[in-house]
Each structure stands twice: as C-alpha cells, then as structure tokens.
Chain A
Amino acid sequence: MPKQGSAPAARAALSRRSALAGATAVLLSAGCGGGSGASSGGSTQTSGVTITVALAGDPLPQAALDTFTQDTGITVKWVNLDWDSLQTKISAAATANTYFADATNVDWSRVGQLGRLGWFYPMESYLDTDAMAEDVPQLASFSTDGHVVGIPYDASFMVTTINVDMFTAAGVDPAPATIEEYTEALRQIKARGIVEHPLNIPFAAAEGLSTYWYETTAAFGGSVLDENGEAQFTDPDSGGYRAAEWMVGALTEGLVAPGSINVTDSQGQQTLMAQGQVASTFSDYSGTVGTLYDVPASSTVVGKVRYLPTPGVDGPAANLSNPDGIGIPKQAKYPDAAAKFIEWFTSQQQQTDFAGVNGPEKAYTGYPIPSRLSAVQAMTSGGNLVQGDALIPMLEKSRPVFEGGAPTWYPEFSNAVYTNLHAAATGSMSVQAAMEGVADKAEQLASGS
C-alpha cells in the first residue's frame, strides 16, 4: 500500500511528476518490450560485490551494514526513495529490462501484479519460506500462484486508535467493543463538546481512503472481493456496503470534519489525531502510537492515545495487514548476494536489533514493528514496543486484505474505490451508485475487458 504516512501526498506528487518524465524517457528509449520479466542473468557471486538496496526508508545503521559486510563480503549501497517513485522505477526498470537495484520494495498491494508479471525472483528459491511462515504471519500476503514474491520486513497492519482522555471525558467506560458502541461513543464525545468532529476519516481521493474502507468492511463482517475477483459489496446488507454507508454517514452526521474531504491518511494522523483535533481513527497504522502520537515533537496527545481492539459487529474484528516486503528484481546484478542480504535483513536477530532491543546504536528508527512474531515478543518483553501487549494479539490474528494476494489489477481497482467513495462523500453520488461503480470496475477488470 502506498505509505502516505512516510511519503506525504505532496512529496509524492512532485516525485511522481519527475518520475513520470524520467521513466517515460527510459521506457521510450529502451524500446519498451512489454514487460517480459526476463532475467538479466545476474551473477551468482556472493562475496566481494556491492549490491544496491532501494527502499522507501532511511538507511540502516552504518554499524549494522558494516557487520553484514564483514560477515559476508557484500557491501550494501542503500538508496532511499519515496514509495511512489520507487514503484515507478520498479515498473520502468522491469519494462525496459534495465538494472535498477538488487533488492527493492515489494508492496502487499502489488503482489498479484508482480507475480503475474514475473518481475521478481521467487523467494522460495533462495530462502526456506515454509519454515519462515509460522514466525512471519504476513508472509501469506506476499504469496501468489504458489510463489513468494517478497519477504515482509515490517508488520504494518490496520488498527483502531483512540484518545483515551476524550473517551473517558465523554463517560465512555469501558471502551467500546462493537461498531455500534463505538459509533455511540463518538456521538457522546461530539454531544458533550469535547471535540466537534471526533472521528478521523481521510476522504481525499487517495489510497488511504481505500485501505480505510477495507478495514471498515472487515469490521462489518464483510470482504471486498472473493477469490474470483467478484465484488462482495453491492448488497445493502453486505459488510462493504454498510462500511461505506457508515463512513459517509459519519461525515453527514458531523462526526467527521467537512474538511476531511481533502485530507489524506498521513495528514489525518499527523494533524488531526496527533494534535488532539479528533478522538479516534478507526483504521490507523500499527505503530503510530510509538512513532507519532507519543513523540512530543510531533504530538500534543503524548500518553493519551492507545490501540483499541478494532470494534466489529459482535466484538473485536480482524485487523487487515498491509506490510512492506523486500524482493529481488529479475534485472538484479547479484541476486544471490541480494538474497543473503534479505535473509539477514529479515532475520529474528536483526529485527530485534533494529527494534532497539539490544541498544539504541543498533536501532533502526524507521522500523516500527518487525514482521517476525519472535522479534515482536522480544521487543515487548524488553519494553521497546509501545503497547506491544495490545498489538501482538492483533498481529497474530491479522489477515490479508485479499486472500490469495491482491489481484493483478489492484491499482486500477483501488483507484475506482477511492474516487467513488470520495464522490459519495462529497454528495455528488449516492453510496449505492458508488458501490455499483466500484463493482462494475471490478467486474470489468476481473473479466479482462
């Protein structure tokens, strides 16, 4: 999923535009062979080589990279690109069959597309992914057609966050467990004037709106698409339809600020939630309490926000995962060396180090939650994961947005989701029309027409 939290939409727009020009030139000059997914036949050398690792994040601590180099003889050149630019570069390099990086981002939302395109080496050829599966529950999100496209390195999943002070001030105790109780609690907060608009929903026509709807759909007991890619949300009693109605209704009712129409998820977190302007975000990102809301420099609600088991129809609902992974593009110069890096990067030992369990000098700040359960448990017992006790059960029960991986046409589908939901929120179309519009698009894409 496009991590707008780490790559704000504005920055993304700038990078998109420049990337558009650059990548188009690359594609055009390269002849654009139509995405053969052909391997460049990289070297099997695993020592004395330099590999390029391109991810949307700051470089790893130099000491950790130095240790890796000493142990393996592989030098790592780290390239930090925002998420959108990274996706454009991956597409451009693969289509033009040119080298870009030895290891790079594999996002959950592109697994189906990347699997079909064959742009990445199957990771089961390099690592024992079967053995890894138990400790890395989100590995399922990276599997398609029997192949593992990438290895998840963080455990991002959607969670509900609440400002406890505001809920308590409204007399909401205990915390709501169902969506009905949750909605009533928000009404209480509004009625008592604690905040005018207690709920945060980023209604801007961007990816964050789609993922918010997926999580809300799951909370209403529904799913978005079945295994054949058929829409599961056109029936007014379906989870998806009710989720859309609930979201748009919250805006109409005034639980959500009118200005949220133009708010992206990152803005929603950083401005509305972190500045105490809302009481809750129904579909927030795991780790935001420790990395944003409890950071005095970026928050006025330090110590006041906690994770709430996501309220469902009859009790806590599942949390959908949207993790980031890392894989090896077929144009890699040193795929075997890249595999060694990925094995090291996603190992339990390194994840524990990056999480700061073994000292701040080994910590990797852009790394909220490891993908390995064992690392998360070590983090929690060491007191290094804020509210880890609340997060671990959610992580254990987290499930992919799309069972069997995101469809190949996910980006176009998501575009239809967020543009139609946005239109429904502005009042320019009904919820029913929005759901039908999305369903039509899904049908069209699934049928290949």
Chain B
Amino acid sequence: MTSTSQAPRTPGATGGAGTAAGKATATGRRRLDLLPYLLVAPVALFIICLALVPAVFTVVQSFFRVSALDPPTRFDGLGNFTRLLRNDAVVSSLVNTGFYVLVGVTLSTLLGVAIAVVLQRPFRGRSLVIAVAILPWALPGVVEGILWSGIFDPSSGLINSLVASLHLGSGDTLLLGQHRLLTIALIELVQVWQITPLSALLILAALQLIPAELYEAAQIDGCSRWSAFWRITLPLARPGIAVAMVQAAIATLNVFDQPYVLNGAADTGASVMMQTYFISFQNLDFGQGYALSLLITLTTLVISFAVVRLVYRKVEL
C-alpha cells in the first residue's frame, strides 16, 4: 500500500498564523475532524444508554437486596451471591449449563470445521448447500424445540420408532427427563443443530482466505491431504475457529428456549438463564436476578478470554 505524498499541515505549520487563508483552512479542518465523532455519536449514545449504563447498574445492584416483596432496597454485600450458591435449583442449573457449554462448544466447533472443509472448495450447487445449511440457524429456538420434541417423543417419536423397527429395543424409552446426562445431551444436540451453521460459516470465511498456492506447494513437497489439513488448514483457520467457539459459548451459556420447550422447568435440564427468569420475574427477587446475570456475564467473559488466548492466533497471509 502506498502512502499519500503530502503530510497534513497543521495550523502551526502554516507559517502564516495570522493569515485569513490559514484560519479558514484550520476552521475547516476542525469541522472535518469533528465529523467522525458526530457520526459515531448516535450509536455510541445508544450503546452507552442501553448497554453500558444498565451493565454498570447491574453490577452495583447485585450487591443490594432488591426484592419487590421485601422492600426497601438495601445494601447486602455478597448476600445475593451466597443465597444463589445455597439454592439447589441454581447450583443444579449451573452444572447443567456447564454441560451445555461443554457439549455445545465442542460439537459445534468440530462439526463447523468439518462442514467448512467440505464447503471450502467450489463445487456445483455449493451456494445452494450453504443456503440450506444455514436454515437451522435462522429458525427460532422454540420452533426447533417443537420440531425435536416430536423426534424425541417416547410413544411416537422418530428415534424410538427407528429403535423399534431395527429391533434394537422396545422403542418406548423415555429420552428426556429421566436421565440427566442423556437429557442434557439431547437438548444440546438440538442447540448444536442451530448454532453449527454459523460456526461453519465463520470458519469457512477463514478458510477462504488461505491461498490455494499453499496447498499446491505442500502437495509438491509430498504432503498428504490429512497432513495439509493439520499443518495448513487448522492453523490458518484459528481466527475463525476462535470466533466460532466464542459465539457458541455465548449461545450455550444463554440457552433457554430448547430446554424449556423440551423439558419444562425440570431440574434434569433447567439452564441458568431459566433460573434467572424464575428468580427475577416469578419470585420477584431482582437482586438475586442481577447477581446471577452478573455471574453469567463474568463466566462468558472468562470463557471468551480463555478461548481467544488459547485458540486465536493472528494470521498474516
């Protein structure tokens, strides 16, 4: 990239500070310099008012007893946090959510990489395949929950029907609600189905930046396709993989629709976001709601930071 030939002239460098022409230029430049700030101001104001101020407020209020049924609002130190950690339902939901994150991030990343690699090279109908593949991501979680509840139904669901017709079992197994790990795995499978397309696209975008010459050179050097995948594709896709993992972590930490539709409020699948809803809007204990929201936010930040540190690498091609 070439740089411009002339350095910008500052008012002090005009040489004729008192000249009318110099003043006019300086005023014009000052106006010009303000323009970017003016343009950004509405969005910045929007973000400050609707994101930063409430975020700061949440942090502050999480240390206060804010309960509509127990006024007035008063300082409570770490009271909200200790009560949350003594609440069996909350602890159970934290464990459940941990499993959602583990299963969801792992599966969606692995599948995302696999799909991206398949879609990396042009082939006939690739655009159509991408369009179809993105559909689950576009569907609301509730709709997916309803779709999959039919698949998981113990009496007439697809899975049990297959099991019965293949003589692999009686075909009336209760898939959701009985065994905790199975319930979480199946619910998360539905969310993975939803978030994997975005992961695949993010990783695919990173793969598209890898020059074909690298693969050609590797091939000439006798590198196998598997080796090329390990030594070229994966390392160079790390920025995309990191972003995909972060978005998967955020989605799984905030999972609400799928467990609620598929398994109700049962302990076997309730997520921490569901508990936030129950505590805030059913029990009207907003202080604990703030505290739980803060915990989720901090967890999201920690996981995202860890992913970026461990996975992200700057790639210069």
| Bound CA–CA A24/B152 (angstroms) | 33
**Does B268 make an interface contact (CB < 8 A)?**
yes
**Does A393 make an interface contact (CB < 8 A)?**
no
Q: Is the interface of A mostly helix, strand, loop or mixed?
A: helix
Of A12-20, A127-135, A214-222, A331-339, the one contacting chain B is A12-20
| Bound CA–CA A88/B286 (angstroms) | 12
Across the interface, do A113 and B284 meet the contact criterion of CB distance under 8 Å?
yes
Chain B residues 128-164 with CB under 8 Å of chain A are 140-143, 145-146, 149, 152-156
Q: Is the interface of B mostly helix, strand, loop or mixed?
A: helix
**Does A274 make an interface contact (CB < 8 A)?**
no
Of B103-111, B213-221, B232-240, B275-283, the one contacting chain A is B275-283
| Bound CA–CA A36/B71 (angstroms) | 7
- Among the listed B140, B278, B286, which residue makes an inter-chain contact with A27, where contact means beta carbons less than 8 Å apart? B286
Please, could you name 20 A-B residue pairs with CB atoms under 8 Å apart, sorted by A? A9-B260, A9-B264, A10-B146, A10-B261, A11-B142, A14-B257, A28-B53, A29-B49, A33-B73, A34-B286, A87-B281, A94-B68, A116-B69, A117-B69, A257-B155, A258-B155, A261-B176, A262-B177, A409-B283, A412-B282
- Give every chain B residue within 8 A of A204 (Cβ-Cβ): 263-264, 266
| Bound CA–CA A87/B256 (angstroms) | 18
- Distance in angstroms from A239 CB to nearest chain B CB is 25
| Bound CA–CA A261/B284 (angstroms) | 28
> Given A10-B142, A264-B264, A422-B264 in contact, is the A411-B282 Cβ separation under 8 Å?
yes
- Taking CB as reference atom, which chain B residue is nearest A420? B267
- Taking CB as reference atom, which chain A residue is nearest B256? A17
| Bound CA–CA A27/B149 (angstroms) | 34
- Among the listed A24, A28, A408, A415, which residue makes an inter-chain contact with B265, where contact means beta carbons less than 8 Å apart? A415
| Bound CA–CA A248/B140 (angstroms) | 34
**Does A427 make an interface contact (CB < 8 A)?**
yes
**Does A164 make an interface contact (CB < 8 A)?**
no
- Give every chain A residue within 8 A of B143 (Cβ-Cβ): 10
- Taking CB as reference atom, which chain B residue is nearest A28? B54
- Give every chain A residue within 8 A of B97 (Cβ-Cβ): none
Most chain B CB inside 10 Å of its own CB: which residue of A31, A262, A409: A262
| Bound CA–CA A411/B265 (angstroms) | 13
- Distance in angstroms from A17 CB to nearest chain B CB is 5
Known: A204-B264, A262-B153. 9 other contacts (CB 8 A): A13-B256, A34-B286, A91-B281, A257-B154, A261-B176, A261-B177, A261-B178, A427-B178, A428-B268
Across the interface, do A426 and B264 meet the contact criterion of CB distance under 8 Å?
no
| Bound CA–CA A412/B256 (angstroms) | 19
Across the interface, do B264 and A412 meet the contact criterion of CB distance under 8 Å?
no
| Bound CA–CA A214/B54 (angstroms) | 41
| Bound CA–CA A29/B146 (angstroms) | 34
| Bound CA–CA A49/B284 (angstroms) | 33
Across the interface, do B172 and A258 meet the contact criterion of CB distance under 8 Å?
yes
**Does B57 make an interface contact (CB < 8 A)?**
yes
> Given A23-B281, A262-B149 in contact, is the A428-B178 Cβ separation under 8 Å?
yes
**Does B247 make an interface contact (CB < 8 A)?**
no
**Total residues of chain A contacting the partner, CB 8 A:** 51
| Bound CA–CA A23/B54 (angstroms) | 12
Chain B contacts to A: CB under 8 angstroms:
49-50, 53-54, 57-58, 61, 66-69, 71-73, 89, 140-143, 145-146, 149, 152-156, 172, 174, 176-178, 256-257, 260-268, 273, 276-278, 280-284, 286, 289, 293
> Given A28-B54, A262-B153, A427-B178 in contact, is the A206-B68 Cβ separation under 8 Å?
no
- Among the listed A24, A32, A264, which residue makes an inter-chain contact with B73, where contact means beta carbons less than 8 Å apart? A32
**Does A419 make an interface contact (CB < 8 A)?**
yes
Annotate A210-229 by CB proximity to B: 1 below 8 A, 0 otherwise.
00000000000000000000
Across the interface, do B266 and A88 meet the contact criterion of CB distance under 8 Å?
no
- Taking CB as reference atom, which chain B residue is nearest A31? B57
- Distance in angstroms from B65 CB to nearest chain A CB is 8
| Bound CA–CA A25/B260 (angstroms) | 22
| Bound CA–CA A87/B66 (angstroms) | 19
- Give every chain B residue within 8 A of A259 (Cβ-Cβ): 153-156, 174
Across the interface, do B142 and A13 meet the contact criterion of CB distance under 8 Å?
yes
Across the interface, do A14 and B68 meet the contact criterion of CB distance under 8 Å?
no
- Give every chain A residue within 8 A of B277 (Cβ-Cβ): 16, 20
- Among the listed B155, B263, B280, which residue makes an inter-chain contact with A24, where contact means beta carbons less than 8 Å apart? B280
- Among the listed B155, B256, B260, B266, which residue makes an inter-chain contact with A419, where contact means beta carbons less than 8 Å apart? B266
- Taking CB as reference atom, which chain A residue is nearest B56? A28
- Distance in angstroms from B179 CB to nearest chain A CB is 9
Annotate A116-141 by CB proximity to B: 1 below 8 A, 0 otherwise.
11000000000000000000000000
